[in-house]
Amino acid sequence: MRKQILIGALVGSLLAVGVSATAQSGSGGTRDGMMGGPGRGMMGRLSPDDMSAFVDAHIAALRAGLKLSAEQEKLWPPVEEAMRSLARLHLTHMQGLRQSRGTMADDSVGLLRIMADRMSQGAEAVRELADAAAPLYATLDDAQKRRLQMLVRMRPRGMMGSGMMGLSGRGMMRGWFGDDDEDQDDH
């Protein structure tokens, strides 16, 4: 169970890194919505190159933080490729949402079908990441597992923060350094 939670947290953290990176910057924050500009939120603020740079940085931070042994390094490339593939899929979905904004407003059933297709694609990409990560995860020692758990939690809040993908009503990933509400949930 703990392994599944950590892999889920890794996936959620990766998905959120590009989109949520701008939630902390700019005067609009997330109140404008998710798609950029007035009523469109943060997607309008990051270019695909920006999102790619954030994904690169996030993957590099995970790898560096794990302090992989030489044997573990051999297991890293499939994990990295699966994370990049998941990020590319997420970017494609976000660009599709941006392009179809407004055209689906009158077709609720069509929108549900698109959402279902994207969820299926995302689920398959997450399965591929889990399959790629399992051999590496099996070799991690307790300290590496602890660092992994912390590394996937130390990222800006985004669409995968509190609420979405939550456990017991709490988001599985918390915010940056001090804005973690975990202590508030225990009262």
Q: What is the pLDDT of residues 47-88, one digit of tens each?
A: 888 888 999 999 999 999 999 999 999 999 999 999 999 999
Tell me, what's the pLDDT at 97? 80
CB-based contacts of 185: which residues, under 8 Å, 6+ apart?
168, 170
Sign of CA dihedral 122, 113, 19, 169: negative
pTM as predicted: 0.62
Residue-range domain boundaries for the chain: 2-185
Tell me, what's the pLDDT at 42? 52
Q: Note whether 20 and 159 are within 8 A (CB).
A: yes
Tell me, what's the pLDDT at 159? 40
pLDDT greater at residue 123 or residue 186: 123
What is the share, in percent, of the chain residues with pLDDT greater than 90? 39
